């Protein structure tokens, strides 16, 4: 077997072509890794919003909170369903929420964007143990006050601590707190008391969703049967984790497919570049190849050596592209969530799986780009190469 240091020396000697090809591969890996990181960030943002021992109730046929309507009179019946956990006083652990979307002007940009406003009842924070107020305080019950998620702070006009905004025309509220929620989708929302939201948007007597804590995850089937078998209610029950996974599917799939498609087109160009580089290496190293064959190295050894060289070249570019994509972890990206049609801020999530996939993709480009030149090198006649 030909020593790998031979391939390393060969790449170092041809600095210009090596650098040009590596940069092309690095660009492909950067695009691929960034798209996969954004897709992973979307899944994390929406998927991390759910808990395995929580269940949610929506109107039958609704696939999002925004389109769900639950009569206030139905809430006690939901909380009385089997499997709902109770506190030390025997009170069911559940909370009802109303979700609406309002158009608000963005900071530093023309036009408006949709922002999710969540009206919460007492105990809503208990269903999100990761939620913590990082500035100010929570809004008081019944007061014209709101707290905002950290990811939209300063992005929308009036959404900053101490500022005033209008939930709806002639209904001003004051921002009294900023909260974080473990990177979940709640960080892109405005939270207020449910009564304030219902009055502002004329939704008295209804909620969008009821959230309950179960005695254990295994009690979900009994709870769902208790809710859905009561035909008077016309409601459906879902595991909270299942609900948020479905919310993330559309956006994450779209971003993943788009990024992968772009990467494939770029990869074709990068593989052609790698192929040209390796063909040039084979043409300029005929005497070396002939000498290797004369020394007793087999055709398969030469073939394997040139493939290793192509893979090494791709790994250099892939490592550079993956390292550059890590910087995207500091970037926040806003886009419309297809489930709620409101703006949501996502982050790029540089998971080990994403980086490993990017490097494997780079190795694949090296193998495909270097295969034909390696075959040509292996077929080189030792006598012709030495005489030439």
Per-residue pLDDT at 360 exceeds 60? yes
- Going 288 to 289 to 294 to 295, the CA torsion angle's sign is positive
0.75 exceeded by pTM:
no
Percent of the chain with pLDDT over 90: 29
Question: What is the number of other CB atoms lying within 10 angstroms of the CB of residue 338?
Answer: 14
pLDDT tens readout for residues 28-65? 888 888 878 877 777 677 665 667 889 999 999 888 88
Nearest to 377 by CA among 307, 315, 312: 307
In the predicted structure, residue 385 carries a pLDDT above the cut 60: no
pLDDT band at 96 (very low <50, low <70, confident <90, very high): very high
Q: What is the pLDDT of residues 172-209, one digit of tens each?
A: 999 999 999 887 778 889 999 999 999 999 899 999 99
Mean pLDDT along residues 68-73: 93
Q: Is there a contact between 116 and 188 (Cβ–Cβ < 8 Å)?
A: yes
pLDDT greater than 90 at residue 307: no
Residue 259 has what pLDDT? 65
Average pLDDT over residues 64-90: 90
Cα separation, 4 vs 289, in Å, equals 15
Where is average pLDDT lowest: 58-67, 125-134, 233-242? 125-134
**Cα→Cα distances 158→106, 201, 235, 344, 376, Å:** 9, 19, 37, 17, 66
Mean pLDDT across 324-343: 73
- Given a contact cutoff of 8 angstroms between Cβ atoms, the answer to whether 93 and 212 are in contact is yes
| Residue 24 pLDDT class (50, 70, 90 cuts) | confident
Q: In the prediction, which pLDDT does 177 show?
A: 95
pLDDT at 97 over 90: yes
Give the per-residue pLDDT at 331. 77
For residues 304-319, give the mean pLDDT. Answer: 86
Which has the higher per-residue pLDDT, 3 or 313?
A: 313
Paired sense of beta strands 171-180 and 164-168, if any? antiparallel
């Amino acid at each position: 077997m030909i020593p790998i240091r031979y391939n390393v020396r060969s790449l170092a000697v041809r600095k210009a072509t090596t650098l040009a090809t590596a940069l092309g591969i690095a660009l492909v890996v950067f695009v691929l890794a960034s798209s996969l990181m954004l897709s992973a960030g979307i899944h994390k943002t929406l998927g991390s919003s759910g808990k395995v021992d929580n269940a949610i109730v929506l109107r039958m046929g609704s696939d999002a909170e925004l389109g769900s309507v639950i009569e206030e009179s139905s809430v006690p019946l939901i909380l009385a369903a089997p499997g709902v956990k109770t506190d030390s006083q025997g009170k069911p652990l559940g909370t009802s929420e109303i979700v609406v979307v309002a158009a608000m002007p963005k900071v530093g940009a023309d036009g408006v964007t949709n922002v999710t406003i969540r009206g919460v009842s007492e105990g809503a924070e208990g269903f999100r143990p990761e939620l913590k107020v990082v500035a100010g305080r929570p809004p008081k019950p019944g007061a014209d006050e709101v707290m905002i998620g950290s990811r939209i702070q300063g992005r929308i006009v009036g959404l900053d601590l101490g500022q005033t905004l209008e939930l709806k025309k002639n209904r001003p509220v004051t921002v009294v707190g900023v909260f974080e929620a473990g990177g979940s989708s709640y960080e892109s929302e405005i939270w207020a008391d449910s009564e304030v939201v219902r009055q502002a948007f004329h939704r008295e007597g209804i909620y969008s969703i009821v959230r309950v804590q179960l005695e254990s995850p295994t009690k979900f089937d009994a709870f769902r049967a208790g809710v859905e078998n009561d035909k008077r209610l016309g409601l459906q029950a879902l595991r909270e984790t299942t609900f948020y996974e479905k919310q993330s599917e559309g956006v994450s799939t779209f971003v993943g497919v788009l990024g992968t498609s772009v990467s494939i087109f770029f990869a074709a160009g990068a593989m052609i570049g790698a192929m040209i580089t390796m063909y040039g290496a084979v043409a300029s190293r005929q005497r070396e190849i002939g000498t290797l064959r004369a020394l007793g190295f087999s055709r398969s050894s030469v073939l394997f050596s040139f493939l290793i060289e192509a893979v090494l070249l791709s790994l250099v570019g892939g490592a550079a592209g993956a390292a550059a994509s890590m910087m995207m972890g500091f970037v926040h990206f806003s886009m419309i969530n297809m489930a709620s049609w409101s703006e949501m801020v996502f982050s790029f999530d540089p998971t080990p799986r994403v980086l490993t996939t990017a490097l494997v993709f780079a190795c694949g480009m090296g193998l495909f780009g270097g295969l034909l030149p390696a075959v040509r090198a292996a077929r080189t006649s030792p006598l012709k190469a030495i005489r030439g």
